[in-house]
Amino acid sequence: MPHHLLLPCVTLSVLLRALAAAQDPSYTITLISVPGTPYTTAAAINAHGQIVGQYELDLHNLGHGHGFLLEHGTFTTIDPPGATSTFPTGINIWSQIVGTYTDTNHLTHGFLLEHGTFTPLDPPGATSTFPTAINIRGQTRVCGE
């Protein structure tokens, strides 16, 4: 996944923390780390506290990360079939998850994960698809080429 896509996630995270701090002066910073992995990044959190993001198994082989859902202290891996790298980028209150994955041909696709079923989010003619958020109505913001 290109590094420039990580910046909006970090920016959103900082903005959400600032918003939370403005509304409630007491808040807690929690370290999120998939056990046994050297790198974890959280991308989104919903109102139920479910968190999605990506983890890497090997810092010397970046770009082959796996997606995760953190719910009630338990990490669940999120990898669409045929994915060589996965990055969930959004989750709504209905636990619908969107994100990107790279396939064995090095093509980037968008996905929606709902009730255990992966649905591709690739507009016709797109060569790369990057869903970045999903709202309460299930509407997804998708960037692409």
The amino acid at residue 4 is H
The mean pLDDT value for 85-108 works out to 95
Query: How far, in Å, CA of 125 to CA of 112, rounded?
Result: 19
Residue 34: predicted pLDDT: 93
Tally of CB atoms within 10 A around 31:
5
- Does residue 59 register a pLDDT over 90? no
Q: Return the domain boundaries, the chain.
A: 3-144
Is residue 37 within 8 A of residue 56, CB to CB? The reply is: yes
Residue 125: predicted pLDDT: 83
- The answer, as to whether pTM is greater than 0.95, is no
The mean pLDDT value for 78-99 works out to 95
Residue 2: predicted pLDDT: 37
DSSP 116: T
Residue 23: predicted pLDDT: 61
DSSP 74: E
Is residue 12 within 8 A of residue 6, CB to CB? The reply is: no
Whole-angstrom CA distances from 24 to 17, 18, 19, 96, 111 are: 10, 10, 9, 27, 34
